[in-house]
Amino acid sequence: MNKLIVAPAPHAHSGDSVSKNMLLVIAALMPAYAVSLAAFGWGALITTLISIAACCLVEWLIAKFLLKQKPTLCDCSAILTGLLLAFNLPSNLPWWLVVIGAVVAIGIGKMTFGGLGQNPFNPALVGRVFLLIAYPVQMTSWPLPQGFAGRYVDAVTGATPLAAMKQIVKGNADLVSQLPDLKDALFGFMGGSLGEVSAIALLAGGIFLICMKVITWHIPVSILATIALFAWIATPEGFACSHEYILYTLLTGGIMLGAFFMATDYVTSPMTNWGKVIFGIGIGLIVMVIRTWGAYPEGMSFAILIMNATVPLLNKIRPKLFGEVVKK
């Protein structure tokens, strides 16, 4: 008989793994990615490939030479970060800016804290916000959706629905007519970053993740509900009814991407269900505050990063104990 293996119980495992979860999230992003490829063509493809390659390379270099850890590329988290970063960028962003974004995302956002599981902030968003602040011009010139007919360099750019929304909120009620059709907003084909184009594809991916039990409903639902409620209360003039404004708010910008894919990042979201709900409400409120009164037309990245900072605090919320505590 061979030497027996001895270990404490349990001896069974669910078969779940980190890489499996990451791959499922990547799979859930694929419908939205297909839409953005159709919308932005080569630019979308090139940006994504550069972003993923750069993220993986940076992670490997840092793990190998700086942290002297075993390289952790096989957990697929760097690929996911790269993909999410690309989803947050305009498709005509110069390649070197994509690389800088990847270096900041992985280098500063993740590996500084010791790698996977240790970072307080969502790495992809750290990369995006860095680029947004450092290179505002390049980061806010959005190419128009032209499919593979459009060019990567010198693409035709134009205003996104978000910019128009900002003006409407500021009081320019007549700009409502410039907003894309609600149907277009739902299915994609409007200007914006890769991950902004098709709300319905992102929604489908998100529901897939909830069904596969990769994420729970708490964060996305509380974010979307808070935003909808806020929009309902504070509908600006110019819209036919508040439902229209609610739909425009939810379907434009990075709300769907943020709610289902960015805010639900395991590492930077709370553990308990109540914590997740509060986290989601916080994000929803901050997004709407920025969109309504802030300088930026979009606030999802900032909102998520701000709420990321509260996660250690939210993790102090304990789950309810079985039975109740006996008072001594």
Partner 1 sequence: MNTFKKGGIHPKDNKIYSAHQPIVECGLPKQAIIPLAQHIGAPAKPIVQKGDKVKVGQLIAEAGGFVSANVHSGVSGVVNKIDATTDAWGLRMPAIFIDVEGDEWVEEIDRSSDVIRECNLEPKEIIDRIAKAGIVGLGGACFPTHVKLCPPPGQKAEVLIVNGVECEPYLTCDHQLMLEHGEEIMIGIQIVMRALGINRAVIGIEKNKPDAIARMQELAQKTLGVEVKALKLKYPQGGEKQLIDACINRQVASGALPISVGAVVDNVATIYAIYEAVQKHKPLFSRVMTVTGKQVAKPGNYLVRFGTPLTQVVELAGGVPEGTGKIIGGGPMMGRAMNNIDMPAHKRTSGLLFLPEEESRRGIEENCIRCGKCVSACPMGLEPYLLSRQSELQMWSEMEDHHVMDCIECGCCQFTCPSHRPLLDYVRQGKATVGGILRARAAAKK
Partner 2 sequence: MNLIVISLLVLGITGIVAAVLLYLIAQKFKVEEDPRIDQVQEVLPGANCGGCGQAGCRAFAEACTKASSLDGLLCPVGGAPTMEKVGAILGLAAVAGEPKVAVVRCNGSCDARPRTSEYNGAHSCAIMHSMYVGESGCAFGCLGCGDCVAACAFDALHINPETGLPEVDEEKCTSCGKCVKACPRHIIELRYKGTDGQRMVVKCMNQDKGPVAKKNCANACIGCGLCAKVCPQEAITVTNNVAYIDYAKCVVCRECEPQCPTGALWGMGFPERLTKAAKTAAPTAQATPAAEGGDEKFDPAIAAQIQALKTPKAVFPHCLHNA
Contact positions vs partner 2 (CB under 8 A): 3-8
Cα dihedral sign for 175, 176, 179, 181? negative
Closer Cβ to partner 2, 3 or 328, answer by number: 3
Question: CA separation (Å) from 128 to 1, 100, 327?
Answer: 57, 10, 50
Helix (H, G, I), strand (E, B) or coil at 8: coil
Residue 20 contact, options partner 1, partner 2, none, Cβ 5-8 Å cut-off depending on partner type: partner 1
Choose among 66, 36, 57, 58: nearest CA to 48.
Answer: 36
Instruction: Check if the beta carbon of residue 251 is closer than 8 Å to that of residue 182.
Output: yes
Interface with partner 1, residue 211, by CB under 8 A: no
Count of CB atoms situated within 10 Å of the CB of 8: 5
Residue 116 contact, options partner 2, partner 1, none, Cβ 5-8 Å cut-off depending on partner type: partner 1
Closer Cβ to partner 1, 21 or 36, answer by number: 21
Instruction: Check if the beta carbon of residue 142 is closer than 8 Å to that of residue 34.
Output: no
Q: Identify the bridge partners of residue 157 per DSSP, sorted by sequence position.
A: 143
The residue from 30, 117, 158, 182 that contacts partner 1 (CB under 8 A) is 117
Instruction: Check if the beta carbon of residue 54 is closer than 8 Å to that of residue 103.
Output: yes
Of residues 285-324, which lie at the interface with partner 1 (CB under 8 A)? 318-324
Torsions phi, psi for 327 (to 5 deg): -80, 130
The residue from 95, 217, 266, 274 that contacts partner 1 (CB under 8 A) is 266
The residue from 146, 178, 216, 242 that contacts partner 1 (CB under 8 A) is 216
Q: How far is the CB of 304 from partner 1 (least distance, A)?
A: 16
Of residues 166-195, which lie at the interface with partner 1 (CB under 8 A)? none
Closer Cβ to partner 1, 255 or 283, answer by number: 283
Q: Which residues make up the interface to partner 1 (CB under 8 A)? A: 1-2, 4-14, 16-18, 20-21, 72, 75, 114-118, 216, 266-267, 269-273, 318-326
